[in-house]
């Protein structure tokens, strides 16, 4: 039971609620000190830092860090399979179109590696910022709760003026206690605000420029892919006989001799495009190149 309560008390939302609830005790303590002639800050000066710091949602930042880490793992997993796909392409698809497809795969692998580095930088920076802010806010809320303890020298706040008048509690002790609480509260508030700004500024600097588009415009093609030049096939699939073609081209049948290839449509040539299917290692259904391209991670 004690262990479970400790876990609950360590949670940031619970610490925040406790600090908000206890600030009224701190204000009451300042009021008691004011009635005894002790110089204390105004009530709004105590409420303002708590409200300002409480506006920061570190939980949302931590959620962003988790999502970025998941995206990094997903890209890394996809990148792991690209070299194998390249080898299978080289082995299973020859010709100009196969070379072009391999070039596209290599270019995609390079872009995925670049995206992986960006994701790692953003993920690690965001995670570090969220962790540092979480510890900072925990320290702040615990400090507020301790400064708001409604007892001075074992005397509750409501009984404090009477204890001072009767001499049970020296006024100098009350003044020193209240002054130390005010100093601790205001110094911790100032340090917390400045450190929050510094962490966020560091996060912005670490991720500055990473959102700039570095890829060429898809509408104008990709300069990082070497497109093979079109090649003429030596197989003639025309329905006209050789003699008729000679006549159509000018009737110069007695010109230079040229070799006429058989018009067998089943002749294979290395430059003839052949639809590609990639066999799966586990014996599943083939995956077409169009399907592979449709699942690019970050293109």
Residue 67: the pLDDT is 93
In-domain check, residue 213:
no
Residue 293: the pLDDT is 41
Q: For 290-298, which contacts have Cβ atoms below 8 Å and span 24 or more sequence positions?
A: 292/85, 293/104, 295/78, 296/108, 296/112, 297/74, 297/75, 297/78, 297/79, 297/112, 297/115, 298/75, 298/111, 298/112, 298/115
Q: What share of the chain is helix, strand, coil (3-state, %, to 5)?
A: 65, 5, 35
State pTM to two decimals: 0.61
Question: Residue 106: is it exposed, middle or buried by C-beta count within 10 angstroms (0-12/13-18/19+)?
Answer: middle
Beta-bridge mates of residue 288: 277
C-beta neighbour count of 122 within 10 angstroms: 21
In-domain check, residue 274:
no
Write the DSSP symbol of residue 158.
Answer: G
In-domain check, residue 49:
yes
| Interval 222-250: pLDDT, tens | 344 444 444 444 434 445 554 454 445 55
Number of domains in the chain: 1
In-domain check, residue 249:
no
Residue 295: the pLDDT is 42
Does the pLDDT at position 37 exceed 70?
yes
Asked if residue 95 lies in contact with residue 270, where contact means CB atoms within 8 angstroms, the answer is yes
Cα–Cα distance for residue pair 259/17, rounded to 1 Å: 91
Residue 11: the pLDDT is 87
Does the pLDDT at position 45 exceed 60?
yes
In-domain check, residue 193:
yes
| Interval 246-290: pLDDT, tens | 445 554 444 444 444 544 444 444 444 444 333 444 544 444 433
Does the pLDDT at position 8 exceed 60?
no
Mean model confidence pLDDT for the chain: 74
Calculate the alpha carbon distances from 212 to 8, 75, 84, 123, 209 in Å.
Answer: 42, 19, 30, 17, 6
In-domain check, residue 38:
yes
Average pLDDT over residues 178-189: 94
Could you give the 3-state DSSP secondary structure of residue 155? Answer: strand
| Interval 68-121: pLDDT, tens | 999 988 888 888 887 877 777 777 777 788 788 778 878 888 888 888 888 898
Q: Which domain holds residue 56?
A: 7-206
| Interval 120-156: pLDDT, tens | 989 999 999 999 999 999 999 999 999 999 998 889 9
Helix (H) or strand (E) holding 277: strand 277-278
In-domain check, residue 159:
yes
In-domain check, residue 280:
no
């Amino acid at each position: 039971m004690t262990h479970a309560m400790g876990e609950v008390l360590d949670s940031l939302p619970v610490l925040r609620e406790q600090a908000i609830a206890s600030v009224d005790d701190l204000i009451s303590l300042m009021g008691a000190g004011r009635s005894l002639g002790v110089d204390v800050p105004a009530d709004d000066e105590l409420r303002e830092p708590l409200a300002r710091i409480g506006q920061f949602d570190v939980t949302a930042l931590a959620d962003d860090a988790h999502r970025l880490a998941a995206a990094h793992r997903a890209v890394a997993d996809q990148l792991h399979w690209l070299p194998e796909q390249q080898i299978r392409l080289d082995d299973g698809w020859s010709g100009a179109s196969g070379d072009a497809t391999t070039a596209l795969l290599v270019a995609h692998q390079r872009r995925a590696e670049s995206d992986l580095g960006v994701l790692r930088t953003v993920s690690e920076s965001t995670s570090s910022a969220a962790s540092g802010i979480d510890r900072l806010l925990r320290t702040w809320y615990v400090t507020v709760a301790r400064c708001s303890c409604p007892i001075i020298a074992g005397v509750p706040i409501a009984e404090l003026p009477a204890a001072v008048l009767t001499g049970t509690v020296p006024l100098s002790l009350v003044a020193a206690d209240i002054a130390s609480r005010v100093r601790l509260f205001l110094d911790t508030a100032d340090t917390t605000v400045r450190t929050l700004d510094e962490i966020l500024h560091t996060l912005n600097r670490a991720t500055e420029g990473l959102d700039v588009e570095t890829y060429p415009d898809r509408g104008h093609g990709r300069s990082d892919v070497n497109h093979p030049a079109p090649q003429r096939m030596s197989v003639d699939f025309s329905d006209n006989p050789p003699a008729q073609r000679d006549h159509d081209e000018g009737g110069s049948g007695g010109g230079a001799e040229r070799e006429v290839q058989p018009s067998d449509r089943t002749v294979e040539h290395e430059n003839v495009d052949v639809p590609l299917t990639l066999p799966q290692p586990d014996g599943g259904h083939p995956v077409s190149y169009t399907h592979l391209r449709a699942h690019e991670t970050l293109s």
